[in-house]
Amino acid sequence: MSRNIYAFLAIILLLLQNCSGQKTDTKFYDKDFKWSIQIPKDFTKVSAKEWAEKQQKGENALEETTGEEVINEAKTIFVFKTDDMNYFEANYQPFDINIDGDYRENNRNVNHALYQTFRDNMPNARIDTLSSTEKIDSLFFYKYETKIYLPNNQILDIIMYSKLFDKKEFTVNIMFTDPKCGKEMIDAWKNSKFEK
């Protein structure tokens, strides 16, 4: 199973946490993936130190659900937020099909583990999921959507995009309760570019 999902779960556990940061309105470029993206304005950059602390909570929740140790090899590319309910995160980790197995099967296992972890940690919520693929700048990504209907009548949308680049798994996570913020993040992601 992918060692990356702990970072994704950390986003969920941030719902009740505060992270300090600074406002941004900038174009971001990652040289490893030759990826450029315009971060929506009024998003705040989450500090690496605070994000690392939150990731540990996600790892612990996943280990409790799966009964397996999570090995942390994910590297954060960025984390931005508008508030404690709307997050935009990108990361990568090593993935070698000769060691980690079939990537498509891995995605199915990750999706199942995510669903079960949400179910275990949010027993009073209704959870709907959808797996598909989507093309971003002519590249196909695995897409896993989760819609969580919380008991307080709030809806939490979580979208995870992932793709294997040689021996690196690249992942973008979008979480929101505010549809306007969600649209801004989704539009930014869909308009991002990968140099060929």
Give the pLDDT score at 122.
86
Any idea how long the chain is?
Answer: 196
**DSSP letters of 132-174?**
EEEEETTEEEEEEEEEEE-TTS-EEEEEEEEEEETTEEEEEEE
Give the pLDDT score at 18.
41
pLDDT tens per residue across span 73-98: 789 999 999 887 899 999 999 999 99
Give the pLDDT score at 192.
98
Give the pLDDT score at 16.
37
The strand order across the sheet containing 126-136 reads 21-24, 43-46, 75-83, 86-94, 168-176, 155-165, 139-149, 126-136
Instruction: Please state, in angstroms and rounded to a whole number, the distance separating the CA atoms of residues 169 and 96.
Output: 9
Instruction: Please state, in angstroms and rounded to a whole number, the distance separating the CA atoms of residues 115 and 119.
Output: 6
Neighbours of 166 (CB within 10 A): 6
Selected from 3.30.1740.10, 3.40.50.880, 3.40.1000.10, 3.40.50.360, the CATH number assigned to the domain covering 5-194 reads: 3.40.1000.10
Give the pLDDT score at 13.
52
Return the domain boundaries, the chain. 5-194
186 CB burial (10 A radius; 0-12, 13-18, 19+): middle
pLDDT tens per residue across span 13-68: 544 344 444 455 589 999 999 999 999 988 989 877 777 766 666 667 667 766 77
